[in-house]
Amino acid sequence: MTLAQFGQYPAPRFAIAHISDTHLLGGGALQFGAVDTAPHLRRALELLGDLEEPPQAIIVSGDVADRGERDAYLVAKQLVEAAAARLDARVFWAIGNHDDRRAYSSVIFGAESDAPQDRVHELDGLRIVSLDTTLPGHHHGELEPGQRAWLQGILATPAEHGTVLVMHHPPVPMALDRISHVIELDGQSELAPVLRGSDVRAILSGHLHYPIYSSFAGIPVFAASATCSTMELAGAGRTYGVRDAGQAIAMLHLFDAGSGGMAEAPVTHTVLPLAQAPLVVAHRFEEFAQLESMTHGQRRTLLSRHPDRDRDGRAHAWLDAAAGAGSGDAPAQRG
Ligand SMILES: [Fe+2]
Ligand SMILES: [Fe+2]
């Protein structure tokens, strides 16, 4: 489907789903004895099928299994690969501190190994590097010197559309969460020179079970929410709290340089909450199909004018009529 351009930016070249910290368990067990994590992953994958433009790839940024159980990897692989097949999308995995290298590599890649799970992939000119930041037996992360050298060697040759680096432990400070300082990625100052000035356009991480956005060596860092459960950051005196709420995934969009008349190549990371709260406004896609054939000026007239200042009153009346909402009293505000 080719969609009309409504604003300054054309469609992104790459649309990639970012899923993290699924923490699946074997035998129907619950995370913390309370959270059924598999349905949350199913819901996340369902959401991808409801997007106007489906993702070209799904990236899973680690902690696939809560206890490193083979059963959990089998379920994760089956669910994610089935969704990817429906979407005609590729799948790229990274390992996290809850994962077990042998079970992860055996089930996900069919090649059992206890070596660092570093991999390089290519998606239509975009390089995707999956970097293993785990230290087996621990929750904090670190990179072996050999891994930094390996990464430096990979990045020495720029890829056509740049690189997305996937690493479970986010290289960021966590200002609201001192507990996570204990399980952070060590040696960040040694990694920065490897990435600074490289073609890496985004770093995708997880691990924290809440979203945090930062930059590292001048590169945007997007640590995704977990699909399993969410860390409580304003815990009213609690040192550590987890809620079975607030789960989300994200979409990474990579635009070409020159998009919107900008020299830079924009990168965005958009959160998609899994919550199924009451839907209070609902317009159908077919109603919006008319927008595709309009001029930009017509769309502006229809959707951008403030209702109180629209002299002919057409702006929001059209949407209300199209939706059959008939609410009349309180036209929806947009923008
Ligand atoms: Fe996790
Ligand atoms: Fe983690």
Domain residue extents for the chain:
14-273, 279-335
Residue 99 CA to ligand 1 centre (angstroms): 9
Contact, 314 vs 302, CB < 8 A? yes
CB-based neighbours (< 5 A) of ligand 1, an ion? 21, 63
Model pLDDT for residues 64-113, shown as the tens digit of each residue: 999 999 999 999 999 999 999 999 999 999 999 999 999 999 999 999 99
What spatial distance separates the first Cα and last Cα of the chain, rounded to whole Å? 25
> What does pTM read for this prediction?
0.91
| Distance from Cα 333 to the centre of ligand 1, integer Å | 38
The percentage of residues in the chain with a pLDDT greater than 70, rounded to a whole number, is 91
Q: State both tokens at 76.
A: 């994760």
Give the confidence band of 312 by pLDDT, cuts at 50, 70, 90.
Answer: low
- Whether 157 has a pLDDT exceeding 60, the answer reads yes
Closest ligand relative to 230 C-alpha? 1
Give Cβ neighbours of residue 85 (< 8 Å, ≥ 6 apart): none
- Calculate how far, in angstroms, residue 285's C-alpha sits from the geometric centre of ligand 2: 38
Confidence of residue 1 (pLDDT cuts 50, 70, 90): low
Q: Look up the CATH architecture of domain 14-273.
A: 4-Layer Sandwich (3.60)
Percentage, residues of the chain above pLDDT 90: 78
| 287, pLDDT greater than 90 | no
Query: CB of 242 within 8 A of CB of 232?
Result: yes
Q: What is the mean pLDDT of residues 42-53?
A: 96
Taking a C-beta distance cutoff of 8 angstroms, is the pair 17, 5 a contact?
A: no
Tell whether the model's pLDDT for residue 305 goes beyond 90: no
